[in-house]
Amino acid sequence: MTDANNTPSPAQDLDEIRIEHPFIEFARMYIRNAAAVIGLLIFLIIVFAALFAPILLDVDPFEIVWAPLARPGEEGFLLGTDNLGRDLFVGIVYGSRTTLAVGAAAAALTIFIGITIGSLAGYYRGWVDEVLMRITEFFQVLPPLLLAMVLVSLFSPTLETVAIAIGVVSWPGVARLARAEFMRIRELDFIKASRSIGARDRRIIWNTILPNALPPLIVNAALTVGVAILFEAALSFLGLSDPNVMSWGKLIGDNRDFILDAPWTVTFPGIAIFLTVLAMSLIGDGLNDAFNPKLRER
């Protein structure tokens, strides 16, 4: 006969699940943030449109389909046409592929450079920290957009060049964050224990400290994607991008002279950029809440 007092309560079962499955706890904390869930849904919709654009809209975004500057809804064109008579809706859908790809690649490069420099500076300190931080400060005082414009102008304005230029000018903030986390974690007892048993520096940096420093870096990575998208849009707006590839910044730049006569030609691409950056910001806030152990006690 089973003793009723030994039967675990639902609350105890829930606690065991939280301990055994940290992802469930993470997801629960993320879902509690309604704004973060909305941001994730917006971002997933944009990613879906970008991935399946050739299937959903099997047309050329550069094809002239009607008279220039047709109003939204005219002749069946949902968002109207641009200054050349191209379907604006098709351009925005296909432009999401370029904008997201460049933003993701630039953010990945930014995170890689920032974590590499910040981790080495924070772990070794001393003269290594001094040299790497002086390099970081050099890049930090330079106007990032201006430096990106110079880099793209010096080389061919391809998507790869744009992504590399954005990554090169955006990493100092990530490096400082990674340095602060490594300086904090390297003084903890389990790191000293790893050194005492003869663990190599490389193993301590990448296998021990970095996993524990990832939460704030992941949050920063989400925000970095939004910043990279803004950089890409700015460079495309200025004509410093591949002219043979559609992007949101290119749509705005091509139609900027008609902003008063046909405001929809720049408004809709601008809304697409705004929603994407807003979604990444909301996702970053949700990740911050989910990674924050203090909020789990509430």
Give per-residue pLDDT as tens, 34-63. Answer: 999 999 999 999 999 999 988 888 888 999
Residue 6 lies in a domain: no
**What is the pTM assigned to this prediction?**
0.84
Rounded CA-CA distance 156/64 in Å is 27
Residue 172 lies in a domain: yes
Give per-residue pLDDT as tens, 244-262. Answer: 888 998 899 889 889 888 9
Residue 15 lies in a domain: no
Could you tell me the CATH number of the domain that includes residue 170?
Answer: 1.10.3720.10
Question: Is the pLDDT reported for residue 296 higher than 80?
Answer: no
Q: How far is CA 4 from the centre of its chain?
A: 52
Residue 85 lies in a domain: yes
Residue 278 lies in a domain: yes
Q: For residue 231, give the nearest of 218, 254, 244, 248 by alpha carbon.
A: 248
Question: Is the pLDDT reported for residue 2 higher than 50?
Answer: no
Domain carrying residue 247: 26-297
Residue 9 lies in a domain: no
CB-CB contact of 168 with 181 (8 Å)? no
Looking at residue 14, its pLDDT comes to 45
Mean pLDDT score, 62-71:
90
Looking at residue 17, its pLDDT comes to 44
Specify the number of domains making up the chain.
Answer: 1
Give per-residue pLDDT as tens, 83-140. Answer: 889 999 999 999 999 889 988 999 899 999 999 999 999 999 889 999 999 999 999 8
Residue 152 lies in a domain: yes
Question: Is the pLDDT reported for residue 272 higher than 90?
Answer: yes
